[in-house]
Amino acid sequence: VSAERTPRILVADDEEDVRELIVYRLSRSGYDVVEARDGEEAFRLAVDDVPDLAVLDVMMPRLDGYELTRRLRAEPATSRVPIILLTARTQEADVSQGFEAGADDYLKKPFSPDELVARVRAVLGRR
């Protein structure tokens, strides 16, 4: 984590309770968090102000996590933003679909918030 600037994380989940939990946990861990209620909003926010990392739910209305990931990867500004997918699907095919779309990591629901923080830290550290 850069010492100069607080890393900004984009969190996209249509489930408000889960989203709030993630935001709460990441904010408490010292990150600057931006919220999006669906895939389209997330894409707009990400392009407007490129985040340091994106945590995206897979099952979202209008634009699902896979497609959102593909679009972010296709956009020059956001093509290198690390992405963690949250999925309730656990099948191998689902996981590989996520990686194929361009995700850096994935987390199965239900997950513990501490696990998410650890993954976020790890992915940011990789950069």
Partner 1 sequence: MTRGLTFRLLLGSAILLAIVVAGFAVMAAAVDQLEGAGHAEGHATKVLATANALEKATLDLETGLRGYLLTGKQPFLDPYRDAQARYPVLARELESLSSGDTRQRRRVAEIAAAIGRYDRTWVQPLIARYGQDPAAARAAVATGRGKAQVDAIRARFTVFDAAQTGIAARRSQHASSTGSLARALAFGGMAICGLLVLVFTVFLRRTVVTPVQRLARGVERIGAGELSVRVPVTGTGEVRGLNAGFNAMADNLELQRDELENQKAELEGQQLELEAALAFVEAEKAHAELLQRFGDDLAVASGLERVSEVALRELADRAGAEIGALYVLDERSGAFALAARRGLGAGDLAPALVPGEGLAGRALAERRPVSVSYGETRLRLPGLVSGRDAAHELHLPLLHGERTIGVVSLGRSRDEAFGAQELELLAILAERAAVVAAEALSLRRVEGLAGQLETLLASIDQGILGLGRDGRIVLVNRAALELTGYTEDDLLGEDAHALLHHTRPDGTPYPAVECPIFEALANGTQAHGDNDCFWRRDGTSFPVEFASYPLFDGGQAAGGVLTFVDVEDRKRLERQRDTQHAVTAVLADANTTEEAIPRLLDAICNGLGWPLGFAWQAHADAAQLRCIAWHAAPGHEEAAASRAAGSISGDGGPAATALERRETVVAGNAVAVPIVGIDGDLLGIAEFRSDDAIGAAGLVGTLDAIAGQTAQFFERKRAEARTEHMRQEFVATVSHELRTPLTAIEGWLDVLGSEEAGPLNEDQQRFLATVRRNSERLRRLVGDLLLSRQIETGQLSLELEDLDLTELAAESLDLVRASADAKGIELEAQLDGPALVHGDRIRLAQLLGNLLTNAVKFTPEGGAVRVAVSAGEHACRIAVSDTGIGIPRDERDRLFQRFFRATTATHGGISGTGLGLAISKSIAESHGGTIELVDRDGPGTEFVVELPALVRETARR
Residues in contact with partner 1 by CB under 8 A are: 15, 17-18, 21-22, 24-25, 28, 59, 88-92, 109-114
Q: How far apart are CA 91 and CA 117, in angstroms?
A: 23
* Shortest distance, position 72 Cβ to partner 1, whole Å: 23
Measured from the Cβ of residue 109, the count of other Cβ atoms closer than 10 Å reads 14
Q: Which residues contact 89 (CB under 8 A, 6 or more apart)?
A: 58
Q: How far apart are CA 62 and CA 125, in angstroms?
A: 32
* Shortest distance, position 39 Cβ to partner 1, whole Å: 16
* Shortest distance, position 80 Cβ to partner 1, whole Å: 28
Is 35 or 75 the residue whose CB approaches partner 1 more closely? 35
* Shortest distance, position 78 Cβ to partner 1, whole Å: 26
Is 13 or 81 the residue whose CB approaches partner 1 more closely? 13
Is 38 or 75 the residue whose CB approaches partner 1 more closely? 38
Is 79 or 90 the residue whose CB approaches partner 1 more closely? 90
**Dihedrals φ, ψ of 23, to 5°?**
-60, -45
| 106 class by beta-carbon count within 10 Å (0-12 exposed, 13-18 middle, 19+ buried) | buried
